[in-house]
Structure 1
Amino acid sequence: MKQKIKPIIKAVDFFCGGGGMSYGMQKSSIQVLAGIDYEENCRATYEANIKKSKFIKADVFELKETDLEKTLNLKCNDDELLLIGCSPCQFWSIINTDKKKSQKSKNLLVEFERFVRYFNPGYVVVENVPGVLRKKGESGLESFIYWLENNKYTVHFKVHNTSDYGVPQNRKRFTLIANRITKKELEPIKANKKLTVRDVIGVENGFSKIKAGHKDESIFSHTVPMVNELTLKRLEKVERDGGNRLSFANDPELQLNCFIDKDDSFKDTFGRLWWDKPYKKDKEFSYAEIENILKN
């Protein structure tokens, strides 16, 4: 008896950026046909890392479904097609310093839905900040989920913490996984163990101690910025394992004017990591340490 060949899922990654989602999909044996992004500057990074995939520079607001269909030779109602929509999240982020600048990103989910409606793929994946769920009516998420559920899709949507999935980082992200192949709700599989900062960075993991302004030529991008003497004093004052700027809040020389009488705002500024906990998203690492975290 011949063994049944498992179908290969083909994916198109909308708002692909440098290719983070595409890379993960390829690692999961999914064939990424193309990544679509408006920023030409993303092309070199995407093409260097996402082999055998096409980078399409296009504004999703102007891109026509039929043009994409012809370019990639796609078929409607393809059970093996996956459409991914991880649109820029600035407008829905809690920290958004310029709503006007990010206004265009507000309706990107609605534009992505247009392609889902046209192609009716077997699978749909959306990832974004939790804000799209908190304001699901305004973000277009509510109507999108309604359409999916009324077109025979089984939909899983939830805010997940990345620390539950093998990433040493406490970071909450909204995830939607929809499929019309099975009635079973598909959701991310949790890791057996949570990773901590100690598991992925530090001297024991190949990162030598370096001073401010140092660039390590032996490890790509193991570099930290130069900081002035006053900033170094502030950093030295912060307690190990979870300390933050409140450690020097009562020191008139070190306290920052913007934080006077604002002890509850952005307390993680100048924060130190907990060695044995997943790190929080607002801490800073060298580029190489970030790369090592994402590889695990």
Structure 2
Amino acid sequence: MSQINAAFIGLGTMGYPMAGHLAEAGLSMTVYNRTASRAHQWARDFNGRTADTPAEAAAGAAMVFVCVGNDDDLRQVTLGPGGVLETLSDRALLVDHTTASAAVARELDAACRDRQADFIDAPVSGGQQGAENGQLSIMCGGDDSAYQRAVPVLNHYAKAVNLMGPAGSGQLTKMVNQICVAGLVEALAEGVAFAKNAGLDAGKVFETIQHGAAGSWQMAHRHQTMIDDQYEHGFAVDWMRKDLDICLTEAARNGTPLPVTAQVNDFYQEIQTMGGGRWDTSSLLRRLQKPE
């Protein structure tokens, strides 16, 4: 790993620890972040280098990792002026961890092919805790040869990595993940509200039922913070709205009815109106609480 020159573009809540795992594994890392002070802090924390543009970070790198906010951000740091594709080397591998559309994944795959480089769309699931602990689930789209190159490196912050199909398949799989999560979180919020209104010890209820058929990651990790009305952590409502909009757009294209997903997306819009755009997604409970 110490012989691999790599770049990481985007040092947000997820990218910062992910890039750190690569540095700790011995990769020679150069990083870029839109807010330069965060990149400089990362370089101090992990003994890496910073670059002034994505193109500068990618120059000479065998692997370039990207983790930014949305399709527009992704196009800007890859295809835009000063973007990764300006300097991406022949046979280099671009790995995109952004949760974005399948369409932009296919666009980047084609752009990389034009440069004789490889591309994988590799969105992740597991949240900030998973990124920090190196326990993410990564769903990949792309050619098998590119995937095989990526896996040994991705394993430094993953507990599960799978190739789901051609370019765009990783993003489509992440949409499935978000569709499932949206329904689970709303069901959990309704369960917590019901338990409280029924006069039950809600903590004891969920400590018990999480080990049965109703159990889920959301229940295990979010029931107590929901009971305590604490939402200043975790995956933000604003980002979930962005993800669910992507899901609903793709569902309209492929003809899949998503009534629950659409309704939960509307519920999250209500949370945004309440000023909770940066609250954790489990804040759906706030809609259901009785006025004091």
Fold match (TM-score > 0.5): no
Q: Which has the larger radius of gyration?
A: 1
Between Structure 1 and Structure 2, which shows a larger proportion of helix residues? 2
Q: TM-score when scaled to structure 1?
A: 0.43
Q: TM-score when scaled to structure 2?
A: 0.43
